[in-house]
Amino acid sequence: MTKADLLIVDDSTTNLSLLSGILGENGYVVRTVESGYDALEVVFSKNKPDLIMMDVVLPDMSGYDVCEQIKADEATQHIPVVFISALDETADILRAFEAGGVDYVTKPVNRLEVVARIENQLTLLAQRRELEEHYRRELDRYEYVNQMRERFVHSATHDLKNPLHLISGYASLLLEVDGAEYDEVGHKYVNLILEGANKMKMLVADMLDLAQMSTGSYINPSRVALNGFIESCISNFSIMARQKSITLDFVRSPDAPAVFIDTARFERVMDNLISNAIKYTPNGGEVEISTAAAQGFVVIAVRDTGSGIPEDDIPHVFEAFYRVRKREHRDIDGTGLGLSIAKAIVEMHNGQLELESEQGVGSEFRIILPGWIQNQPKKKR
Ligand SMILES: Nc1ncnc2c1ncn2[C@@H]1O[C@H](COP(=O)(O)OP(=O)(O)O)[C@@H](O)[C@H]1O
Ligand SMILES: [Mg+2]
């Protein structure tokens, strides 16, 4: 925590300068006011203090009343109030706690004691904030997990059930036809069955992959020449690109960088990014994969001239099951899992997966991996 911002409320200017002196010396930011009214004005302003030290006897109202007003408002009730007073009767001290004070210091104040008490309250405050922050994060996480669970159920029911119905439907139709009719429609039914089965296969494979990632699996990295590895990943897509008349280019880094990666897992990342680029780019477009090396890291970029991703969807496409809700996206087969799997794998390698995209212009996905290992030519002895 940066040094705390304190408000001292006391109508005795001697006391004010004594206290602000002590606390200022200890590095606190100190503000001072001399009346209850002025104190409330500061407390209910935008720039609230972290802690208040307040005299019990003020010229316009009692410190207890001021404290009660602070404690009655949700926006200010968390601010600790430490009372300072010459009154040292038990009843006065009890009254201070009743009003919502957290501590009580009697005048004349002892420097060391004041600082120790303030420190103590600020530690408590910091701990409480930390707990609240922790609680908020847990709540966010809970909401996230719950949302995932809902999407998972939704996906399992719709995306798995639909092709399953297709498969069993066409299989029963197939059973009923024979002879000449079989020749006529049989082939078509078998194709539809196959299509349904393939959709299910893809979804089940992705769901299993994702489940494996989220249960924290390990990677098995080895040293690989980056350009050669990327080239082999790209070669799997030459047919798919040709079918859509898409040019598939590779711009290789001249530095011949090497990386330390789990090749089986990383192939999955490249497959996802390259297949997306081809899938979401209309016929005749371009997909360019490039590698670059800079001191300490490597960048692999997959750029396309495709449909692009609307700005509002960009923060979400890495979430599991998320697909852009647009016709030109929905008409293409997909599970919405590829990018979440890719991101998990890249992060397992301590890397980052970035996205830049403009609707109607195209997208660029960039993988940034730390630790470029230079492929030094072997020295001859
Ligand atoms: N290169 C791209 N161009 C346009 N949209 C993309 C691209 N890559 C991904 N998307 C969008 O992000 C969504 C999530 O991608 P992904 O997780 O790979 O799922 P899938 O490809 O199975 O639909 C896709 O459904 C699509 O809407
Ligand atoms: Mg995909």
311 exposed, middle or buried (CB, 10 Å; 0-12, 13-18, 19+)?
exposed
Instruction: State the pLDDT at residue 207.
Output: 85
41 exposed, middle or buried (CB, 10 Å; 0-12, 13-18, 19+)?
exposed
DSSP3 helix / strand / coil % (the chain, rounded to 5): 50, 20, 30
Looking only at the bridges linking them, the beta strands covering 51-55 and 5-9 are: parallel
Please enumerate in sequence order all residues whose Cβ is within 8 A of that of 145, keeping only pairs 6 or more positions apart, or say none: none
Distance CA 148, CA 318 (A): 13
Q: Is residue 329 helix, strand or coil?
A: helix
Q: Which ligand is nearest to the CA of 343?
A: 1
Helix (H) or strand (E) segment spanning residue 248? strand 247-251
Instruction: State the pLDDT at residue 378.
Output: 55
- Give the nearest ligand 1 atom to 320 CA: 17
Which residues form ligand 1's pocket by a CB distance below 6 Å? Answer: 272, 276-277, 280, 304, 306-309, 317, 322-324, 329, 334-340, 363
Backbone angles phi, psi at 30, to 5 degrees: -120, 130
Backbone angles phi, psi at 65, to 5 degrees: -65, -40
Instruction: State the pLDDT at residue 284.
Output: 96
Q: Which ligand is nearest to the CA of 302?
A: 1
Question: How close is the Cα of 365 to the center of ligand 2, in Å?
Answer: 12
Instruction: State the pLDDT at residue 346.
Output: 95
Instruction: State the pLDDT at residue 379.
Output: 56
Instruction: State the pLDDT at residue 209.
Output: 83
Distance CA 297, CA 155 (A): 37
- Give the nearest ligand 1 atom to 322 CA: 14
Instruction: State the pLDDT at residue 372.
Output: 77
Question: How close is the Cα of 241 to the center of ligand 1, in Å?
Answer: 17
Are 70 and 76 a contacting pair, CB within 8 Å? yes
Distance of CA 144 to the CA centre of its chain: 10
pTM, full prediction: 0.65
- Give the nearest ligand 1 atom to 307 CA: 4
Cα angle at 76 between 21 and 113, to 5 degrees? 30
Q: Which of 309, 311, 356 to mutate to test the pocket of ligand 1 (most atoms within 8 A of CB)?
A: 309
320 exposed, middle or buried (CB, 10 Å; 0-12, 13-18, 19+)?
buried
Distance CA 340, CA 350 (A): 15
Q: Which residue, by CA, sits nearest to atom 19 of ligand 1?
A: 336
Q: Which of 305, 317, 331 to mutate to test the pocket of ligand 1 (most atoms within 8 A of CB)?
A: 317
Instruction: State the pLDDT at residue 377.
Output: 57
Considering only CA atoms, which of 334, 305, 311, 333 is closest in space to residue 322? 334
Question: How close is the Cα of 306 to the center of ligand 1, in Å?
Answer: 11
Question: How close is the Cα of 234 to the center of ligand 2, in Å?
Answer: 15
Considering only CA atoms, which of 362, 221, 226 is closest in space to residue 294? 226
Distance CA 292, CA 299 (A): 5
Instruction: State the pLDDT at residue 216.
Output: 66
Per-residue pLDDT tens listing for the chain (381 residues): 468 999 999 999 888 999 999 999 988 999 999 999 999 999 999 999 999 999 999 999 999 999 999 999 999 999 999 999 888 788 889 999 999 999 999 888 888 899 999 999 999 999 999 999 999 999 998 988 888 788 778 777 788 888 899 999 999 999 888 888 888 888 899 999 999 999 899 888 888 888 777 776 788 899 999 999 999 999 999 999 999 999 999 999 999 899 999 999 999 999 999 999 999 999 999 999 999 998 889 999 999 999 999 999 999 999 988 899 898 898 888 889 999 999 999 999 999 999 999 999 999 999 999 877 766 555 555
Q: Which residue, by CA, sits nearest to atom 27 of ligand 1?
A: 324
